[in-house]
Amino acid sequence: MIRCPRGTRDFLPDEMERRRHYEGILRDVAHTFGFREIGTPIFEEAELFIIRSGPNILDELYGFKDKGDRELALRPELTAPAIRLFVNGMSNHPKPIKVFYFGQCFRYERPQSGRYREFFQFGAEIIGSATPETDAEAIALAVSMIRGLGLTDYRVRIGHIGILRQRLVDAGVGKDDMAEILRKLDKKSYDEAEPLLEDAGVSDADIADIFAMTDGTDGIGILAGIAGEAGDHLRSVLSCLRDMGVRDVEVDLGVVRGLDYYTGIVFEAEAPALGAEKQICGGGSYTLSELFGGEKVFSTGFAIGFDRILLALEKEGAVYEADGIGAYVIPASAEMRTRATEVTALLRAAGIPTDTDIMGRKLAKAMKSASDSGARCAVIVGAKESEDDAVTVRDMVSGAQTVVGIADLADFIRRP
Amino acid sequence: MIRCPRGTRDFLPDEMERRRHYEGILRDVAHTFGFREIGTPIFEEAELFIIRSGPNILDELYGFKDKGDRELALRPELTAPAIRLFVNGMSNHPKPIKVFYFGQCFRYERPQSGRYREFFQFGAEIIGSATPETDAEAIALAVSMIRGLGLTDYRVRIGHIGILRQRLVDAGVGKDDMAEILRKLDKKSYDEAEPLLEDAGVSDADIADIFAMTDGTDGIGILAGIAGEAGDHLRSVLSCLRDMGVRDVEVDLGVVRGLDYYTGIVFEAEAPALGAEKQICGGGSYTLSELFGGEKVFSTGFAIGFDRILLALEKEGAVYEADGIGAYVIPASAEMRTRATEVTALLRAAGIPTDTDIMGRKLAKAMKSASDSGARCAVIVGAKESEDDAVTVRDMVSGAQTVVGIADLADFIRRP
């Protein structure tokens, strides 16, 4: 028996409809923020992802050559394609450009809870603006999406890559040691960061101060004591967010994320219910277009892990019930089949999801099918009622039966 | 400059929103017919497609090995994955199972008008039923989708693979010659079919009759003269379609399609405006599940070429205009920025797509941005009106300006 490849999933109707529902919410929220959707191919030149993420990404890429010997790869993320699209086709659009996207991404990694080889990412980018308002707009969208989905237990932490970098430079960390130390601090691996900082010649007092700065507690208080442009910028972002009604964010100067890639603010959202794989969103400001052959523009963007956020909603007990079938039409006898088909077509044309027996089943068996279908009502087309242009509507929950005229049928069924 | 790979496309916002709009129509129509959506991975074991389509498909597959040395392939079509999903996860669901799907497919072929290496397919399958009502249900859905999209110039041709096969057998065509002759007749290549039929020992009278049967003219009349089960079945399908209000279909006994794959009715829809690549939909009844390790069940399904049908709509002059931005909020002065941000948040919370200046632009430049954004109105937040909890709304088409209280603002903007 052939199954779907390891790390990929099939979605049966209940799950698929749930996913489409939540996907629709994310799209609606993005639209209310004035973001517009773009689409890019499932695969790209592998080079695109190496430029953004470095050659290590090769280990995680599903790569292949096409028959023209070009090195292609299934996309592992969507920021690089979005910026490539901007460089290729939108660079002359008025700035700022606000776009979002949703689709499958692929990483060749060990499948585990909340991690798949084929996963779904929703993301947004604001291209061509570098103001605090820009960063606030992106963060507000991310938070509004999380809230819009109905997730209640989430944390959003905002930092600024420039603040921590400057603090490390001031403490004497040189260029060569910077990346490794940032990586340890990002993971809050202080045991491992300490010897690295000592080797870099940082004093014990500075080390303690750096640890306090990055441990995620009292971030607002620490930020208040930080002078300079980066500190001012982050304070302005927080002020804008307050004006937008986004107050449930924390300052955590230890958020570093993709290191070299980000240029200013960085932020992450997590759903604590998910345990070790709790990050549901990450983003920040960056420049990328110049690496793809375009002019250098500042951007702020983020990506939401759609699979993980759905998992978080599930853990919170969120239930989505699809609308399902409105009516199941049944001919009371073989002679009424034509009439039943007409009634079915009529309800469908009225926009009511309608199913009917197509297997020639007799009344009792067809009633069973109606019940299996989850239809809210069965519409029984009998000879006697048909003479008066009417049918019998049976409420599948209460069992109540009502004779309804054909002219009123769609309205009758549509009633809540 | 890195571009998207040959044969693939980027979709900029206008185009993407148009596609999402039409995708939504297809999904809505499928729901009214009681079909439910499923999802399958972008890639599958290559074997799956070879089983369905034969080894020739290998030439068109984007194939690659994963690190476990499994032969994988980007999906070239969605019927095989849908039936695999049925065998793996839905075989115990009550029959008939009515599912649909939408997504990217991939074929490594020469890109040309309406043909892409990455293309989008919408399709539906009814699994576990073989009645004429089943076939009619599938055809009616396909026709309703085409109509629902607004396409006006289309042709739907229905045949039955069994009728033509039987006619050829009766005329003396042996098993070995069957496939090649069917292929020529399917393409209506009578010049090439004639010598093959002669070599197979078919009489001139039979050849003339077979050509008349397959040339697509007077199909209904020809069908009337055909006895036997297959003829009865096709007549019943047409009768069901009439009951469903689907009368604009033709009988064409020359429709053959995938040869060995189909077992009963076969149908195609075309949009003549597209010229050589005019086929927009194809389907029929088949069995496939037993080849994937499941029990043998009869199915009827079809696929719609989403890209081609959009091209056909475009050629018919169909225009889709996205809703776009409802309001663009502008602070009249720097002091009013906080207030403007609050107004923006308020409109967004009310579900109105709202944009605002995030680049610190002054009034005149911000008005230009509002105009660029295509917003229906600009909301100007000035100091004087703010004292009365009001703003100035400028209609971007007429230029008319109205002072509106904040409490009424969302309703005012929502008014058509």
pLDDT in tens, A144-195: 999 999 999 999 999 999 999 899 999 999 989 988 898 899 888 999 999 9
Distance (Å, whole) CA B12 – CA B272: 28
Distance (Å, whole) CA B329 – CA B347: 9
Q: Is the dihedral of CA B113, B117, B122, B124 positive or negative?
A: positive
Given an 8 Å threshold on Cβ–Cβ distance, is B63 in contact with A64?
yes
Q: Would strands A250-251 and A155-160 be described as parallel, antiparallel, or unpaired? A: parallel
Asked whether the beta carbons of A327 and A300 are under 8 A apart, the reply is no
Per-residue pLDDT for B186 more than 90? no
Task: Determine which of B21, B25, B32, B99 to mutate to test the interface with A (most A C-beta atoms within 10 Å).
Answer: B32
Q: What is the CATH number of domain A13-315?
A: 3.30.930.10
The residue among A172, A291, A288, A158 whose CA lies nearest residue A230 is A158
Average pLDDT, stretch B84-93? 96
pLDDT at A114: 62
Q: Which amino acid is at B193?
A: A
- In the structure, what pLDDT confidence band is assigned to residue B1 with cuts at 50, 70 and 90? confident
- Taking only Cα atoms into account, the Rg of chain B, rounded to an integer number of angstroms, comes to 28
**Is A47 strand, coil or helix?**
helix
Q: What is the pLDDT of residues A261-281, one digit of tens each?
A: 889 999 999 999 999 889 999
- Give B365's contacts in chain A (Cβ within 8 Å): none
Helix extents (H) in A200-326:
204-214, 219-224, 229-243, 306-315
The chain B residue lying nearest A59, using CA atoms, is B67
- In the structure, what pLDDT confidence band is assigned to residue B53 with cuts at 50, 70 and 90? confident
Instruction: Decide if domain B327-414 falls under CATH 3.40.50.800.
Output: yes
The chain A residue lying nearest B107, using CA atoms, is A66
Complex ipTM > 0.90:
yes
Given an 8 Å threshold on Cβ–Cβ distance, is A34 in contact with B351?
no
Given an 8 Å threshold on Cβ–Cβ distance, is A1 in contact with B31?
no
Q: Across the interface, which of B89, B131, B341 has its CB nearest the CB of A10?
A: B89
- Give B87's contacts in chain A (Cβ within 8 Å): 1-2
**Percent helix, strand and coil across chain B, each to the nearest 5:** 45, 25, 30
CA distance A272 to chain B (A): 26
The side-by-side arrangement of strands in the sheet containing B390-395 is B354-356, B327-331, B377-381, B390-395, B401-405
Calculate the alpha carbon distances from B319 to A105, B123, B326, B391 in Å.
32, 24, 20, 34
Question: Is A373 within 8 Å of chain B by CB?
Answer: yes
Q: What is the pLDDT of residues B306-362, one digit of tens each?
A: 999 999 999 999 999 888 899 999 999 999 999 999 999 999 999 999 999 999 999
Q: Is the dihedral of CA B144, B150, B152, B156 positive or negative?
A: negative
The residue among A325, A113, A393, A136 whose CA lies nearest residue A244 is A136
Distance (Å, whole) CA A258 – CA A84: 19
For residue A416, say if its preceding peptide bond is cis, omega within 30 degrees of 0.
no
Q: What is the pLDDT of residues B258-285, one digit of tens each?
A: 657 889 999 999 999 999 889 999 999 9
Give the DSSP per-residue string, A211-228: HHHHSSSSHHHHHHT--S
Q: Is the dihedral of CA B246, B248, B249, B251 positive or negative?
A: positive
- The DSSP 8-state label assigned to residue A153 in this structure reads S
Residues 6+ apart with CB under 8 A from B359: A95, A96, A129, A131, A133, A134, B369
Distance (Å, whole) CA A357 – CA B186: 33
Given an 8 Å threshold on Cβ–Cβ distance, is B63 in contact with A66?
no
Per-residue pLDDT for A198 more than 90? yes
Cα angle: B65, vertex B110, B56; to 5 degrees: 55
**Is A206 strand, coil or helix?**
helix
As given in the structure block, the two tokens for residue B332 are 């009249």
Q: Would strands B250-251 and B155-160 be described as parallel, antiparallel, or unpaired? A: parallel
pTM: 0.95
Average pLDDT, stretch B108-132? 89
As given in the structure block, the two tokens for residue A218 are 């009292």
Instruction: Residue count of chain A, please give it.
Output: 416
- In the structure, what pLDDT confidence band is assigned to residue A299 with cuts at 50, 70 and 90? very high
Q: For chain B, which residues make up each domain, given as ranges?
A: 13-315, 327-414
CA distance A307 to chain B (A): 14
